[in-house]
Amino acid sequence: MAYSDKVLDHYENPRNVGSFDKNDLSVGTGMVGAPACGDVMKLHIKVGPNGVIEEARFKTYGCGSAIASSSLVTEWLRGKTLDQALSIKNTDIAEELALPPVKIHCSVLAEDAIKAAINDYRTKQQPAA
């Protein structure tokens, strides 16, 4: 398998690895994938009072392309509003990393992780009934 230079760079030097306190109300968690499928992504976003993503962190169990996809989105998410973040498409990720067709699912997973994290954050903001 030949990896693009960008995938190799993110694999060698993953950005924003880690976690936030998932119980913090300003934090949204997205956990997608399954071990049996070969990839699990966990994405944390920290949202400021102005609704802008201040920081993102990830941990990924998966191939180099999955690690690179999640590492890349943590860079992209920073400074974006939630709606801007939701507009990130898997095709943007796949294009940026030059993912081969067999690795497109890694970019799909990263997009799903963003959606799941934002969904989690928004759910948390609703006052308990």
Partner 1 sequence: MTKPIYLDYSATTPVDPRVAKKMVPFLFERFGNPASRSHSYGWDAEEAVELAREQVAQLVNADPKEIVWTSGATESNNLAIAGAARFHKARGRHLITMTTEHKAVLDTMRNLEREGFTVSYLAPKPDGLLDLDAFAAAIRPDTILASVMHVNNEIGVIQDIARIGAICRERGVLFHVDAAQSTGKVAIDLDALPVDLMSFSAHKTYGPKGIGALYVRRKPRVRIESLIHGGGHERGMRSGTLATHQIVGMGEAFGIAHREMAADNDRARMLRDKLLAGLSVLEETYVNGDLAARVPHNLNVSFNFVEGESLMMAMKGIAVSSGSACTSSSLEPSYVLRALGRPDELAHSSIRFTVGRFTTEADVSSTIDLVVRNVKKLRDLSPLWEMHQDGVDLTKVQWAAH
Considering beta carbons, is residue 82 or 110 the nearer one to partner 1? 110
Considering beta carbons, is residue 57 or 80 the nearer one to partner 1? 57
Considering beta carbons, is residue 38 or 79 the nearer one to partner 1? 38
Q: Residue 5: is it exposed, middle or buried by C-beta count within 10 angstroms (0-12/13-18/19+)?
A: exposed
Under the binding rule (CB under 8 A), the answer on residue 32 touching partner 1 is yes
Our answer to whether residue 63 is catalytic in this structure is no
**Residue in 74, 69, 55 with CA at minimum distance from that of residue 107:** 69
**CA dist., res. 118 & res. 17, Å (int):** 18
How large is the greatest C-alpha to C-alpha distance in the chain, in angstroms?
A: 52
Site string for partner 1, 100-129 (x = CB under 8 A): --x--x--xx--x-----------------
Name the residue type at position 117: A
Name the residue type at position 41: M
Catalytic residues: 37, 106
Binding site residues, partner 1, CB under 8 A:
1, 3, 11, 14, 17, 19, 31-42, 59-64, 66-67, 102, 105, 108-109, 112
